[in-house]
Amino acid sequence: MKDFWRRYRRNKGAVLGLVILLLVMLMAATAPLLFPGSPWDMAGAPFSPPGEMGMLLGTDSLGRDVAAGIAHGARISLLVGAVSTLAALLVGVTLGAIAGYLGGIADDVVMRFTEFFQTIPSFVLAILLVAIFTPSIGSVVFAIAVVSWPPVARVVRAEFLSLRGREFVQAAEVLGKSRLAIVVTDILPNALSPIVVLSSLMVASAILLESALSFLGLGDPNLMTWGFLIGSGRSVIRLAWWMSVFPGVAIFLTVLALNLVGEGLSDALNPRLARQRGAGA
Amino acid sequence: MSLLRVEGLTVALPSGGDRPHAVEDISFSVEAGEILCVVGESGSGKSITANAVMRLLPKGLPVRAGAISFEGTDLLALAPEAMRRLRGQRMAMIFQEPMTALNPLMRVGDQIAEVLRVHGSGADAARRVPELLAAVNLPDPAAIARSHPFRLSGGQRQRVMIAMALALEPALLIADEPTTALDVTTQMQILRLIREIQSRRGMGVLFITHDFGVVAEIADRVAVMQHGRIVEQGLAAEVLNRPQHPYTRALIAAVPHGAAPDRADITAAPVLELRQVEKTYRRGGLFGARAVVRAVHDADFSLRRGETLGLVGESGSGKSTLARCVVKLVEPERGTIAYHGTDLRPLSRAAWKPYRRRIQMVFQDPYASLNPRRTVGETIAEGPVTHGVPRAKALDRARDLLRLVQLDPGAMDRYPHEFSGGQRQRIGIARALAMEPELLIADEPVSALDVSVQAQVLDLLADIRARLGLTMLFITHDLRVAAQICDRVAVMQRGAIVEQGRTAEVFAAPQHPYTRQLLDSIPGRGWTPPAL
Amino acid sequence: MTVSRRGLLAATAAAPVLMRVQDALAQGIAPRRGGTLTSILTPEPPVLQIGVNNQGPTLVAAGKIFQGLLTFSPTLEPIPVLAKSWTISPDGREYVFRLQEGVKFHDGTPMTADDVIFSITKFHFELAPRARAIFALIDKAEAPDPLTVRLTLKQPFQPFLLMFDTSACAIVPKHLFDGQDYRTAPAVQRPVGTGPFRFAEWQRGNFIRLERFADYWKPGQPYLDAIIYRIVPDSQSRRLALETGQVQLTQASDIEPFDVPAMRSRPNLEVSIKGWEYFSPLSWIELNHRVKPLDDVRVRQAISMAIDRNFITQRLWFGVGRPATNPVASTTRFHDASAKIAGYDVKAAAALLDAAGLKPNAQGVRFTLKHLTLPYGEVWTRLAEYLRQSLRQVGIAVELESTDAGSWARRVGAWEYDTTINFVYQFGDPTLGVERTYVSTNIQKVTFTNTGGYANPKVDELFATARNSADPKDRQAAFSAVQKILCEEVPQIWLMEMAFPTIHDKKVRNAITNGLGVHASFDDVFLTA
Amino acid sequence: MEASKLPGFLLRRGVKAAIVVLAIVVCNFLLVHAAPGDPASVIAGQSGAADAVFLEQLRRQFGLDQPLHVQLWIYLKSVLSLDLGFSHRQQQPVAALVLERLPATLLLTGAAFAFALAAGVTLGALAAQRVGRWADSVITVIALTFYATPLFWVGLMLVLVFSVWLEWLPSFGMSSVGVEMHGLEVVWDVAQHLLLPALTLGLFYLAVYARLTRATMLEVADQDFVKTARAKGVPEGRILRAHVLRNALLPVITFAGIQAGQLLGGSILVETVFAWPGIGRLAFEALLARDYPVLLGVFFCTSVMVVLFNLLTDLLYAIIDPRVEVAG
């Protein structure tokens, strides 16, 4: 653990990312304190630019505080990102494990299935799903999960495939351990690091996906999200640039942070790659 | 003036290494028309020396001191461009891994032609390439030139590498363990090839190896390296037969002497009997191109209590597959695997479980055979625990076992990566013994280890076998090793056992031509390590 | 700021509303032949055949291709178009139209009484529900001569004439439809009418091009060579197109309300909210009376009083439109200004809810309502959000459900909603555009009927009287009465008399000359040099 | 691999592709029909007023009175005869609608893809070559930035800057209408309209490819055969081109193949922001209007395109990498 952190620290970008991420989380956590009441409350005059009338980041077309929106939106965006990623991991890891460990026909079937899901333009699929189950946080999370598990399955499968052939797994077989025991105690722990790295990136893309959906008006109408803010600010971008610019920046920073953290993790988890990445990134 | 002269060369290691210098103050020279073997165990700095001469050292390993003069010019002072012009033209290099040393996407011919091209003689590439391929005794040079590397065998690729190296008739050839990855027979051919070409052209050769057999085979002079220093150098005959430095002596002592011990016949009841076991691999599924490989067939043998049977053969001969069939890691299509009379082959996973205690296995790669995420203690105790032994008890036993394999019981709570290859192999053995097996299957247990370590592990195995009365199935490609440890050997070729019998007899009077070929290929078979 | 004020002044000063060609001449501006008018159409209409589709965009574009017998002034006086003149029998049952001479369809065939009768009694009767409802009153339709049409009604129907505008009853060529499925006839894809412009080209998702019809029956007209409607789904792109002069005219909801002030301040642009008198759309919060406690009149009144209609008009629609005062828009006939709904008063609203026995809980919530957001764009979403916040003030929690046009229509049609927003055209006369929402006889599982399920015999009776009497005075009486009752019972929460900004380059003249504004035929529109 | 083996290879992949397409068609059909709201009520809603008679008429037209499996069977049969059904909302055959929009999308995605790949690989290679130096850092940061920025937001910002403030480029549409243009003028005009959308769509994938190229190049650079080349005295420049880059491109190609579908997805956003008349927007509008036939058509069309594209990359791969057929 200690030298993990040491290796992680070596990647300056990753540290920066971690700091940003922590700040965003802090903001999400303290949103109700920073901005008491609902982010939907009409707190000031519509379209007042940043700084004016005590509105740090200005107000929107109904005089709602953009800053409040961003703070409260952080909670939802992070939540959606995390939950949908967890769901995707659940599906992806299970299928990937089955395919990779059992191999043969099981592998074939699962992989065809995965390929199939990767062939459908995922964003189109996401839109479709959300529309079918009517926009709500549930349907959004579901849609994101559905379109983001295939990469996990592929990675996990590859890992399992290679680990299955490794001698320590064969040794476990020879010791007479049960399949489940082997998967759980021998293979999974060694396949973890790529999954960890991947999931940090998945949270990032989940947040992007959510914002894209909200942008197209497919977000949960009762929840304040960054995507919604941009969506509502988009049409007035020339009247009130701050409405879409600041949430955009928020998304950018968060996603950036998650990516940096992801790189840091992969550096720390497999030093070989870290050397390759060199001082870059 | 020597062809190559290295003086007081010191190469630094990146900080945090186990020692400050990879190579420290070494001096040697290579004359035109001679072969200098630099011999040493892994980490002795021999490869770094070779790369330093080519100035192919990674940035992490800067040259700190010393001079390298080649044909009178100081290489270390040379501008990169000038150095590039020397490489491939005056001095060439071949590497250990023929499989990865060629660009997979480039036709072999083009890769050879590239050497000519980049050194300005691309004009006659069309003519020279086939010549060169012929010169390294490759059949149908034209065809080979047109094919991609993945179509060639390891030996063929190494020949291609040599052809490439010789393309511009360099004065110096640096060979970095060029035969280590090859089978004995191929290795012998390559060694002969290098020898022949070198003498024909009067090149100087700097030959890096860890195998004294190879040294005995081709070296004119030898330099022995330990921990980045040359501890002894001199004429091959001298060093091999009258080593002075204790380290050299130790190394040579460790070389398996190959003389088969003449043991009494074992007449005990057979523990394991294999009959008509067949395993065939079919590659490619619904959409892939099919390929059928008969991995094992006609490989009957029986193994009596207390006996050690050696399965010898080259890679791909099916020896490992056969061994894995016995422990159901591979499931053969037909045949019987009778263990004390009961056929194990048809048994289900569950039905197999009780036999797991009796039959255990030691694996080849000490780095891959231990789960990096569990402590040594757990690893060893795991087996018994799976079979219902209380954890505490299993852990105590594990401690004893560590002692048995000559490791400090303090190792219990440490993780594999904190151990050296030899130590890991001991842990692997301990893991197998924890089950108190009757039959131990050892799959190339020492081939990944350095000579000295190899010797220790072999002794350990011999000792344990004697103490516990183990029956052993010992898989190896190294005939010297087989000779040293096995009562009987079975020689495998392309999935079949072509000859088996008492070790001494097989070695003394091989019946099958292939066995003979194998024996002829033992490097330095003319040389018997002196008893020290 | 000063700039924009000057802009405003300019706008009012030079308002071309109702500026007919002769007025222009009087002002010394000779109508100029030639030039192409580029405008915008959103959303892209499915087809340009009025009748097969009667959505706004279709009417705007097809209004140049097709013509009706009449059109209407801003005060809803009939203006002759294809009908040169007309007479109505004293008993209000016989209508005789004299048709214009020399009117040709775009395929060259002359338009005759046959075409008119076909259009009325067959084409629109089958295709358009609205038309079917009213033309069902026609007892006999005859053509004494090729240029005369006589329609005899089963009973007097005073708003009858309002049905003869292009948007309600465009005259189509009989020979291209008779005996075919009107929806799939080839002519639907290449519409043929009598209008000043003929259909030329349609690159779906890109643009529609109409070109001057040389044989148009008004000599020398139209003035324009062509009209191009570009399809631009993004509102900001639309605004940009207008500002950069890529288009010279926008209408309906092309330009989002919040952009209107900026447009007003542009010296080269003309902003007008006139030209919707015929349609006079009125928007309201549609309540489902089947959902408790919405059946309680006090609750409805409370909701109505909890909403600040001025905020909505000023903040959301930026002054485009007027706060609604009663169910009949002030621009529709028989509007009674004396009937008014109670004004914005949060305290009173809360009191009413208390009276209704709906006490707030710990979170200050009396009860929760679902609100189906109208999926017609930005501003409607904003409106829903505004309603949620302002109703929360009086202790009503509102949960928004966002949906797409499809589901919205389905759910409203199937009564599967608590509250939603709705707006309908009034077509100039309460009988045509208001009645349908309140009479119990029209409670159907179909959109734009009395989906709210409000039922009041008195109201039914008064609407019936108004419908059946031929005398405007009697009708006015009935309508006034019904307006008073409705203002008391607030079956729906009327929000705004909607208006849509028509914005055009000052070079474009006569963009709005009657009560149908941009839906007009544009045969007198011209571009100044 | 040898040309002789190519047909067989293509056949195998072709069969595979066909199966996938079929599966997609069925799946799309079921998905879209799981959606609430039938098209009849939609049109009823939008035609301003409606009555039960009218609704019934429509339902019959749409074949919505048929049971689902019958509708599926009908759809499949017609799809196989390349008839994608009839859009009753648009009063047009779906195939016509889709094909009408297809070129625009192909142009957009094609341009974006080409740009992303070319620029991405170049930048990635540059970064790998100068690993650890400032150029590398700059490129990495740029890549990361675009990688982390929402597509539509980039689009908005580009419009804000280049159309609104600088007024250099048109902000929407595919061509200026009503202006008489000939030959090169048209091309130039379309190019101007194409620039911003293609850029928006391309930047994200540029980032992806740049990162990927850099990583793989560094990985390849570590491999033995590169060292061999050095030992042969091959100049660094040539090593990079002939040995490292060529090998590093393989994973990039594979990835590009997988990405094709995502690219199409992204085009929905971009086409909406820039009013680009392509199938992406058609799909979204069709969805909001519950225009089943069009949706099905668009999905069928996109999936076919993706599959075809994968086929293409497979082929390319097979040509570049001799080992392919052994890989099976």
Pair C148, C292 in one domain: no
Q: The CATH number of the domain where D203 resides is what?
A: 1.10.3720.10
D177 pLDDT above the threshold of 60? no
Burial C11-26 (b: 16+ CB within 10 A, else e): beeeebbebebeebee
User: Of D42, D171, D277, which has the smallest distance from its Cβ to C405's Cβ?
Assistant: D42
Q: The CATH number of the domain where C59 resides is what?
A: 3.90.76.10
**Chain A (218-247) residues lying within 8 Å, Cβ to Cβ, of chain D:** 227, 230, 234, 237-238, 241, 244
Q: Is residue D176 part of a domain?
A: yes
Pair C427, C516 in one domain: no
Q: Is residue C23 part of a domain?
A: yes
DSSP state of C118: I
Pair C523, C474 in one domain: no
D127 touches chain A (CB under 8 A): yes
Domain span at C114: 2-191+501-527
* Burial label, A163 (beta-carbon count in 10 A; 0-12, 13-18, 19+): buried
Nearest to D262 by CA among A124, C116, B444: A124
Pair D195, D272 in one domain: yes
Pair D208, D265 in one domain: yes
What's the whole-number mean pLDDT along residues C174-202? 92
D288 pLDDT above the threshold of 80? no
| Domain B1-90+171-254, CATH number (from 3.40.50.300, 1.10.287.70, 2.30.110.10, 1.10.1240.10) | 3.40.50.300
d(CA A38, CA A72): 9
Helix (H, G, I), strand (E, B) or coil at D156: helix
The predicted-structure confidence for B364-399, as pLDDT tens digits, reads as follows: 888 888 988 888 999 999 999 999 889 999 999 999
Pair D176, D198 in one domain: yes
Q: Nearest residue of D to residue B175 by CA position?
A: D231
* Burial label, B246 (beta-carbon count in 10 A; 0-12, 13-18, 19+): exposed
Among B371, B375, B385, B433, which would you mutate to test the A interface (most chain A Cβ atoms within 10 Å of its Cβ)? B371
d(CA C332, CA C280): 6
Pair D35, D178 in one domain: no
Q: Are D167 and C53 in contact (CB < 8 Å)?
A: no
CB B94 within 8 A of CB B165: yes
D82 pLDDT above the threshold of 50? yes
Q: Are B93 and D224 in contact (CB < 8 Å)?
A: no
CB C486 within 8 A of CB C438: yes
Q: Is residue C108 part of a domain?
A: yes
Decide which of D93, D127, D147 is a domain's last residue: D93
C503 pLDDT above the threshold of 60? yes
Nearest to B69 by CA among B27, B39, B16: B27
> Which chain C residues contact residue A61 at CB under 8 A?
258, 315-316, 382
Decide which of D93, D110, D137 is a domain's last residue: D93
Q: Is residue D79 part of a domain?
A: yes
Helix (H, G, I), strand (E, B) or coil at A262: helix
Q: Which helix (H) or strand (E) holds B243?
A: none
The predicted-structure confidence for D199-254, as pLDDT tens digits, reads as follows: 999 998 898 889 889 888 888 888 888 988 988 888 888 888 888 988 888 888 88
d(CA C336, CA C340): 9
What's the whole-number mean pLDDT along residues C366-371? 94
The predicted-structure confidence for D266-275, as pLDDT tens digits, reads as follows: 888 888 878 7
> Which chain A residues contact residue D167 at CB under 8 A?
none
The predicted-structure confidence for A29-63, as pLDDT tens digits, reads as follows: 888 888 887 888 877 777 888 877 667 788 887 88
Q: Is residue C359 part of a domain?
A: yes
d(CA A77, CA A79): 5
Pair D263, D165 in one domain: yes
Averaged confidence pLDDT in chain D: 79
**Nearest 5°: phi and psi at B27?**
-135, 135
Pair C369, C320 in one domain: yes
Which pair of structure tokens corresponds to residue B178? 């060029």
Pair D270, D246 in one domain: yes
The sign one gets for the Cα dihedral C479, D49, C320, C301 is: positive
DSSP state of B303: E
CA angle D14, D18, D19 (to 5 degrees): 120
What's the whole-number mean pLDDT along residues A91-105? 89
d(CA D133, CA C518): 63
> Which chain B residues contact residue A166 at CB under 8 A?
368-369
Q: Is residue D178 part of a domain?
A: yes
C519 pLDDT above the threshold of 90? yes
D54 touches chain C (CB under 8 A): yes
Pair C421, C507 in one domain: no
Pair D82, D223 in one domain: no
Q: Is residue D326 part of a domain?
A: no
Pair D57, D119 in one domain: no
The sign one gets for the Cα dihedral A42, A43, A45, A47 is: negative
Q: Is residue C472 part of a domain?
A: yes
Pair C29, C76 in one domain: yes
Pair C355, C482 in one domain: yes
Rounded to the nearest 10 degrees, what angle do helices D246-273 and D151-158 cross at? 70
Which pair of structure tokens corresponds to residue C242? 């207008």
The pLDDT confidence band at residue C109, using thresholds 50, 70 and 90, is very high
Number of other CB atoms surrounding residue B223 within 10 Å: 26
Pair C396, C415 in one domain: yes
Predicted local confidence at residue B262, as pLDDT: 62
Predicted local confidence at residue A231, as pLDDT: 81
Pair C430, C347 in one domain: yes
Q: Is residue D262 part of a domain?
A: yes
Range scoring the smallest mean pLDDT among A117-126, B458-467, C41-50, C486-495: A117-126
Please give the tally of structural domains in chain C: 2
Please give the tally of structural domains in chain D: 2
Q: Are A278 and D132 in contact (CB < 8 Å)?
A: yes
Predicted local confidence at residue C28, as pLDDT: 60
Predicted local confidence at residue B260, as pLDDT: 60
The pLDDT confidence band at residue D165, using thresholds 50, 70 and 90, is confident
Q: Using a cut of 0.95, tell me whether the model's pTM lies above it.
A: no
C3 pLDDT above the threshold of 60? no
What's the whole-number mean pLDDT along residues C395-420? 86
Domains of chain A: 73-274 (1.10.3720.10)
The sign one gets for the Cα dihedral B339, B345, B351, B353 is: positive
* Burial label, A192 (beta-carbon count in 10 A; 0-12, 13-18, 19+): middle
d(CA A265, CA A267): 5
CB C463 within 8 A of CB C435: yes
What's the whole-number mean pLDDT along residues D18-24? 81
Pair C468, C508 in one domain: no
C403 touches chain A (CB under 8 A): yes
Pair D113, D87 in one domain: no
In chain B, CATH 3.40.50.300 covers 1-90+171-254, 270-520
Averaged confidence pLDDT in chain C: 88
Nearest to C269 by CA among C291, C250, C292: C250
Q: How many contacts does A have with C, using Cβ atoms within 8 A?
A: 60
User: Of B89, B148, B287, which has the smallest distance from its Cβ to D16's Cβ?
Assistant: B287
Q: Is residue C344 part of a domain?
A: yes
* CA-based R_g, chain A, Å: 22
The class that CATH gives domain B270-520 is alpha beta
Range scoring the smallest mean pLDDT among B52-61, B203-212, D121-130, D310-319: D310-319
D102 pLDDT above the threshold of 60? yes
Number of other CB atoms surrounding residue C466 within 10 Å: 26
Q: Is residue C222 part of a domain?
A: no
Averaged confidence pLDDT in chain B: 87
What's the whole-number mean pLDDT along residues D56-78? 74
Pair C447, C304 in one domain: yes
What's the whole-number mean pLDDT along residues B170-189? 87
How many helices and strands in chain C, by DSSP H and E?
19, 21
C113 pLDDT above the threshold of 90? yes
Pair C107, C14 in one domain: yes
**Nearest 5°: phi and psi at C277?**
-60, -35
Domain span at D38: 3-93
d(CA B31, CA B433): 52
Q: Which helix (H) or strand (E) holds A219?
A: none
